[in-house]
Amino acid sequence: MIEVPPLAPGETLLFTLRHGVTELNRDKRVSGQTLDVPLLPEGIRQAEEARECFAGTSLDVVVASPLARAIQTAEIVTGLPREAIEIDPLAAERSFGRMEGLTRAQVESRFPEVRYLQIGTVGYSLNPPGGEPFPVLHDRARAFLRQLLERHRARRILISSHQTFLQQLHGVLRGLDPFEALQHDILNLELNLFHLNAQGHLTSHRRDLLVPQASQYPSF
């Protein structure tokens, strides 16, 4: 069970959870929205391990991206059936356009105009052809948060989604711009807990690695 703070009137708890490993993570290929791949068997095992840590944690609402890997992760970790999970298209992964499914070497060969921002070992594409630039994704994350709080303020909410979208959502919550948000990578089955006051402002943030061995699949 995850230790969570008590809620005063009007306060909200947001749990964010990145999905388990997929073939795209394993093979270091760009994911995005069009390749709706499921979890690998190892990703299922990761989610089952995370469920053991999460069991007994009180939730009011579970929201997931419409992509299979996020829904499947939410089902396993929370034990809820799909029909009990709220699906929100705004929580989908970043659109990488024509880069989706490609390795970085293939992107550089086919789309030499793509520029990258390198942060540690991760190369963030700044102008994916036909995809979402980071400021656009940041605005989508802001709209998602605003609408989520309109529907579910003062509740305990779990959001099952994807690395790049969650980076920008975390950035919105922490007051970071779209590029500052990229300084904070998110691993598979990483849980972040954000405590918001009655005005919707962040009062505390905590990060838990529910599956420590997920670090063997670093972002790229």
Domain ranges of the chain: 12-156+174-215
Model confidence band, residue 125 (pLDDT cutoffs 50, 70, 90)? very high
Q: In sequence order, which residues have a C-beta less than 8 Å from that of residue 125 and are 6 or more positions away?
A: 30, 96, 99, 107, 114, 115, 116, 131
Catalytic residue among 11, 19, 49, 75: 19
Judge whether 138 is annotated as a binding position.
no
Distance (Å, rounded) from C-alpha 177 to C-alpha 148?
20
Judge whether 56 is annotated as a binding position.
no
Q: Give the pLDDT of residue 1.
A: 87
Active site residue 93: yes
Query: 67 and 162 in contact (C-beta within 8 Å)?
Result: yes
Q: Give the pLDDT of residue 3.
A: 87
Closest CA to 132 of 96, 182, 178, 88: 96
Q: Give the pLDDT of residue 162.
A: 98
Model confidence band, residue 209 (pLDDT cutoffs 50, 70, 90)? very high
Catalytic residue among 42, 75, 93, 132: 93
What's the pLDDT tens digit per position in 92-122?
A: 999 999 999 999 999 999 999 999 999 998 9
What are the C-alpha distances in Å from 83 to residues 2, 72, 75, 80?
A: 24, 12, 10, 8
What's the pLDDT tens digit per position in 29-43?
A: 999 999 999 999 999
Query: 211 and 46 in contact (C-beta within 8 Å)?
Result: yes
Question: Does domain 12-156+174-215 bear CATH number 1.10.220.110?
Answer: no
What's the pLDDT tens digit per position in 177-195?
A: 999 999 999 999 999 999 9
Q: Residue 200 carries which DSSP code?
A: S
Active site residue 83: no
Judge whether 18 is annotated as a binding position.
yes
User: pTM of the predicted model, to two decimals?
Assistant: 0.97
Token duo for residue 84? 């009990």
Distance (Å, rounded) from C-alpha 102 to C-alpha 15?
31
Q: Give the pLDDT of residue 218.
A: 87
What's the pLDDT tens digit per position in 133-180?
A: 999 999 999 999 999 999 999 999 999 999 999 999 999 999 999 999
Dihedral angle sign, alpha carbons of residues 33, 182, 124, 218: negative
Judge whether 211 is annotated as a binding position.
no
